[in-house]
Amino acid sequence: MKKLLLMASAMVFTLSCSSSDDSSSNNSNSNSSSKITPPAWIQGTWVDKDTYDLTNYKVGYIFRADDICMLNISHETCWKESINLHNNVPNSPKAIVNESISDTEYKCSITLASQTIYYNFQKISSNTIKNIDNGGIYTKIN
């Protein structure tokens, strides 16, 4: 059942958008551009530990200095490449990345054409984060 839920989450990631959290916050950094810049504390590979232990598959996220990737089974879907491809289409609106960064929270929205994807992660500890949107808990493996 959990595997189906995670696969459905992957479908949502690629095919739909979620609602925005318009509440104000005390974040120390907020910017808008077409570049992704996750904070150092979240960079690395984060997996759903229950799924990883039970199936030996990786389901989770990879945060790099300039990218966000979603892991689903053995497949990575990364935003940097999609943004670059989108921005190179003549007469197309440029991708927009909005980020809000603090010592314990990372929010990011990515808009390509008329579709926006939202991410909201909270730092639980140095090796545990929570996806606020779906309640998933992820453990850092590297």
Spell out the per-residue pLDDT of the chain, length 142, in tens.
333 333 333 333 333 333 333 333 444 455 557 899 999 999 999 998 777 656 666 789 999 999 999 988 778 899 999 999 999 989 888 999 999 999 999 999 999 988 999 999 999 999 999 999 988 999 998 8
pLDDT of residue 26: 40
The Cβ of residue 135 has, within 10 Å, a number of other Cβ atoms equal to 7
pLDDT of residue 92: 85
List of residues 6+ apart from 3 with CB closer than 8 A:
51, 55
pLDDT of residue 4: 31
pLDDT of residue 113: 86
pLDDT of residue 49: 74
- Determine phi and psi for 38, rounding to 5 degrees: -60, 150
Structure tokens at 51: 């799924």
Q: How much of the chain is helix, strand and coil, in % rounded to 5?
A: 25, 40, 35
> What distance in Å separates the CA atoms of residue 73 and residue 82, rounded to the nearest whole number?
20
